Amino acid sequence: MEKKLSREEARKRISELRQQILYHQKKYYVDNDPQISDYEFDQLMAELKRLEEAFPEFLTPDSPTQRVGEKPVEGFPTVSHRRPMLSIDNCYDVDGLREFDERIRKLLPGEKIEYVCELKIDGLSMSVLYLDGRYHQAVTRGDGFRGDEVTAQVKTIRSLPLTLPLKEEVEIRGEVYLPYESFKKINQEREKRGEPLFANPRNAAAGSIRLMDPREVASRNLDIFLYYIFIDGREMPSQWENLQQLKKLGFKTNPASRLCRSLDEVIDYYREWTEKRDSLDYDVDGVVIKVNSTRQREILGTTAKSPRWAISFKFPARQATTRIKDIIIQVGRTGALTPVAILEPVQISGTTISRCTLHNEEELKRKDIRIGDYVLLERSGDVIPHVVSVMKERRTGKEKPLVWPKHCPVCHSAIYKEEGEAISRCINPSCPARIRESILHFASRRAMNIEGLGEALVDQLLDSGLIKQIPDLYHLKYEDLVQLERMGPKSAQNLLDQIEQSKSRELWRLIFALGIRQVGEKLAQALARKFPDLEKLARAGEEELMEMEDVGPKVARSIVFFFRQPENQKLLERLKAAGLKFREKAEKAGPQPLKGLTFVLTGTLSSMTRDQAKEKIESLGGSVSSSVSKKTDYLVVGEEPGSKLDKARELGVKTLNEKEFLKLIAQA
């Protein structure tokens, strides 16, 4: 039971709570360095709300409890900006950037030019006004001269301070955006309600900021990065100082911003973030380059639409619209039937895309994708392109839904779908499509690593009848190979040498190469450690397998099912007869020096590939993970490291450069 406070005690406690809450909000939303748990924070907010209800005379508009208003607003009044919010010209290649730099230098002859590079957040431009140290008004960019007042909506953004330690008029400008996780959640909820999905985070942010009810806006978890500040209408002497002043006042600025003292540094920054953009949890579509000096910017001035002192260097597009010409069904090595869209070719991120996976029958139906539809495609980094949405308003009535087959489109055998799965599968283990994909997987770099055995050669070998199953690879003859098209004597001998070398690969590679469902590379390594004899693994039961840390009932069933199939038993017999290694050599006696240590690799190593570094660590008893966590012991940092380095610094994980890593390995 809480002690009943006097009026003066309540006033003091309310003031204390507000200061604590504002501090913790800044640590959480701006600094990404939370000091208390969510539960503890919620308790502070709950106490403040109770006291303000009990002592309403102390309630003020800038209290943290008032960030979300109680009533929906009615309409959006139009407000004129104190100074225009101009759009920025774009360029799409280095030549365009050099032309921009040349124009600047012609207008500022003989002067030293510095640039500030900032990531171009794909969001909604916003102007926020503070009067007498208090949050007063927020206005969208609109047409650059007038915008919509969205004061109640922007007030819900928790990283934005409601008070400032300044009494002057302060205007800040920035970009309201929606983090990816919030974007996914919103679309999942819209999908459940049968509402159209937002095409991208920017659309979702714009839609969110125009919701009439601030409580609903608050649930969307919008955020904001700031980049300009005007105090009584004046900027700081430089853009870099603008950013420092914003940070000093508690505003959230983008940590990737950088002061560049030459055009080459600007180009390096652009190239760096072209590679690293997929490591961010928000959408960026380019780099904004600004002349740093405010004095120089005043000399350069503006055109009717854009400042002459800034340009946006856009990243290659990741989304594009195209038409589906056809939908075909592909059969993979596990028999999975996958619908694939054949597209009118379109450029995304500098790559021509002419086909993309549609995943499975359920996904096809859920999105109602039809032959002839216009669709919005997206490709992030090296991820396979996928359909974001169907442009149903462009339908003419001639579009046709795909009729899902009742039989395998390759061998015409029956297909089946396991309960609880979305994927249909061909039941025929001798299906030509399954055999082709199985051979390609078996020969792949991370499996048996048979160099030179790619798609074109596998197709030739199958079409000519030289191979029909995986074991046939080990019975190929030189005189047969040299007769194949584009296969000379040297290539034929190289291939035979590679096939011969694959016989002595590590046991885990063979286990992985077999293509057992649910068994990836990491689990194959664990299985080889527990069962250093493949025939012993083939006899293992579900209970014995489930003793392993990474094996649950579903995985155990899959492994046992694979080895119980007569065709797979025959496969193993033939591989053993061909001379493949079925038993791992016993480990050398003595402790493994890196045992119990977890490593993560980032960037490019000059002395070895990352695969070689991984094998070296594992041979000494260490383990290699793909992501940094508190359990990581060392991050090995090569050239051009990615976001893993930032994560390691944030978590206090020890980092090793290549020289230090090699020294550690040598000592081990």
pLDDT at 668 over 90: no
Q: How far is it, in rounded angstroms, from Cα 513 to Cα 301?
A: 64
pLDDT at 95 over 50: yes
pLDDT at 581 over 50: yes
pLDDT tens digits, residue range 409-438? 999 988 988 777 889 999 887 789 999 999
More confident residue, 90 or 117: 117
Q: Residue 308 — very low, low, confident or very high, per pLDDT cuts 50/70/90?
A: very high
With H, G, I as helix, E, B as strand and everything else as coil, classify residue 477.
coil
Q: How far is it, in rounded angstroms, from Cα 328 to Cα 166?
A: 64
Strand partners, 226: 174
Q: Residue 200 — very low, low, confident or very high, per pLDDT cuts 50/70/90?
A: confident
Q: Residue 13 — very low, low, confident or very high, per pLDDT cuts 50/70/90?
A: very high
pLDDT at 590 over 60: no
* Residue type present at position 129: L
Q: How far is it, in rounded angstroms, from Cα 631 to Cα 335?
A: 38
Token pair recorded at residue 300:
């350069």
More confident residue, 399 or 666: 399
* Average pLDDT over the chain, rounded to an integer: 88
pLDDT at 71 over 50: no
Task: Tell me how far the alpha carbon of residue 380 is from its chain's centroid.
Answer: 7
Average pLDDT over every residue of 143-164: 92
Q: Residue 73 — very low, low, confident or very high, per pLDDT cuts 50/70/90?
A: very low
pLDDT at 42 over 80: no
Contact present, 491 and 452 (Cβ < 8 Å):
yes
Active-site position among 26, 106, 120, 184: 120
pLDDT at 151 over 60: yes
Token pair recorded at residue 444:
């792949």
Look up tokens 């207008």; give the residue: 107
- Identify whether 120 is a catalytic site residue: yes
Average pLDDT over every residue of 196-200: 72
Q: How far is it, in rounded angstroms, from Cα 296 to Cα 292?
A: 8
Token pair recorded at residue 30:
């701006």
Average pLDDT over every residue of 115-144: 93
- pLDDT recorded at residue 586: 57
pLDDT at 531 over 70: yes
β-pairing, 634-637 vs 598-602, is parallel
- pLDDT recorded at residue 254: 96
pTM of the model: 0.52
Question: Phi, psi at residue 634, to the nearest 5°?
Answer: -140, 140
Q: How far is it, in rounded angstroms, from Cα 470 to Cα 577?
A: 13
Average pLDDT over every residue of 346-375: 88
pLDDT tens digits, residue range 16-35? 999 998 888 777 556 656 66
- pLDDT recorded at residue 383: 56
- pLDDT recorded at residue 153: 94
Contact present, 459 and 485 (Cβ < 8 Å):
no
Q: Residue 72 — very low, low, confident or very high, per pLDDT cuts 50/70/90?
A: very low
Q: Residue 74 — very low, low, confident or very high, per pLDDT cuts 50/70/90?
A: low
Average pLDDT over every residue of 566-577: 92
Q: How far is it, in rounded angstroms, from Cα 329 to Cα 336?
A: 10
| Angle at CA of residue 625, ends 622 and 629, nearest 5° | 110
Contact present, 200 and 304 (Cβ < 8 Å):
no
- pLDDT recorded at residue 184: 87
The closest alpha carbon to 380, from 320, 322, 440, belongs to: 320
With H, G, I as helix, E, B as strand and everything else as coil, classify residue 337.
strand
- pLDDT recorded at residue 30: 61
Domains of the chain: 7-66 (1.10.287.610), 90-314 (3.30.470.30), 321-406 (2.40.50.140), 432-502 (1.10.150.20), 507-577 (1.10.150.20), 598-667 (3.40.50.10190)
Q: How far is it, in rounded angstroms, from Cα 426 to Cα 415?
A: 5
Average pLDDT over every residue of 606-616: 83
3-state class percentages of the chain: helix first, strand second, coil last, to nearest 5: 40, 20, 40
